[in-house]
Amino acid sequence: MLDAGAVTFGEPLKEHCSWRIGGPADIFVQPSGEGQIVNVLRFVGEEGLPLVVIGRGTNLLFADEGFRGVVLKLGKRFSDFSVDGASVRAQGGLWVPRLVKNLADEGLSGLEHAAGIPGSFGGLVAMNGGSLRHSVGERIVDVRAVSFAGELRTFRRDECAFSYRRSLFQLGAGDPGNRWIVLEAALELVPADRNDIRREVLRILAERRGKFPLDLPNCGSVFTNDPAVYELAGPPGKIVEDTGLKGLRVGGAEVSHRHANFIVNLGGATASDVLALVGEIRKRVHDRIGAWLECEVRYVGAEGTLVPASEVSGTPIRREK
């Protein structure tokens, strides 16, 4: 029998993403070790099944029909954390707020900017996530990863292709044979006073509570902060707000009244609602400023497609010259 970890069938994906949207996955696997992950990858390859790898699901929109393949979740069962002086190693399933707390407890500074980001560490690395003009890639020493073909490899920081909200490991990057799953990563941090670190973390958390709609299901920032568009009209939240779209609603999905780069689930929102709303926002913004907003959030189609939500929102992506 295949050793794959905890396996369930027909698992509702809305229970595994921050938007609380998505139909059932045919096969849902939660491994607790590298060997189990490799076993799943080999099984998927031999059977020719679609595969998607998730953490906390904070940057994903699952199809209403669910997923006709295998969903591999790196979560609590894959979340070890170790410290050696100022060096830290953490597995991909570790919850980022827990990682930030652990670092504060250890008196290690350098990742406070990630406080309040609700995703998994693997997802943070893959998206080179962060805030306050910082990103996790600044602190990465190396990343241990496994390819969809089952090859294990350790990448040095300079091999990870880190750039603004991008990396070699980003979901949907490249063909399946060259796609990699973040298993764990090493960080080099700076010793500092624990109380100073905690005060900074609390300050950032308070700022996020005042700025973002944390009381309703959402995926965080929907649209990416493209430098060319920023120079033209500012950050995406300001662009959407200046277009007069706060409160714009399709079904159960609504542009947040608190922050216009957030789409919230008012209750019962579907993926179709979100995609229609994204498409309408993009169209109206383009009509006003002549540029297309592109999405940070990825749409996971029922048959295995994995693309920025803007690509399936009903409006074409056009590169401005």
Residue type (1 letter), 146 = V
Which entry of 120, 135, 167, 221 is annotated as an active-site residue? 221
A 10 A CB-CB count for 9 gives: 9
Instruction: Determine which helix (DSSP H) or strand (DSSP E) holds 276, and give its type and residue range.
Output: helix 271-289
CB 298 within 8 A of CB 306: yes
List CB contacts of 47: < 8 A, sequence separation 6 or more: none
Rounded Cα distance between 41 and 27, Å, is 13
Indicate the pairing of strand 140-147 with strand 306-308.
unpaired
Angle formed at CA 211 by CA 209 and CA 213, multiple of 5 degrees: 70
The yes-or-no answer on residue 221 being catalytic is: yes
CA end-to-end span of the chain: 55
For residue 205, report the phi and psi dihedrals to the nearest 5 degrees: -65, -40
A 10 A CB-CB count for 320 gives: 12
Q: What is the DSSP string of 200-225?
A: HHHHHHHHHHHHS-TTS---S--B--
List CB contacts of 301: < 8 A, sequence separation 6 or more: 63, 307, 312
Which entry of 112, 184, 280, 296 is annotated as an active-site residue? 296
Shortest CA distance to 111 belongs to which of 90, 135, 92? 135
Shortest CA distance to 62 belongs to which of 266, 271, 212? 271
Which entry of 77, 165, 208, 284 is annotated as an active-site residue? 165
The yes-or-no answer on residue 47 being catalytic is: no
Instruction: Determine which helix (DSSP H) or strand (DSSP E) holds 304, and give its type and residue range.
Output: none
Longest dimension (CA), the chain: 58
Phi/psi-derived region of residue 159, left when phi > 0, alpha when psi is between -120 and 50, beta in every other case = alpha
- Residues with a known catalytic role: 165, 221, 296
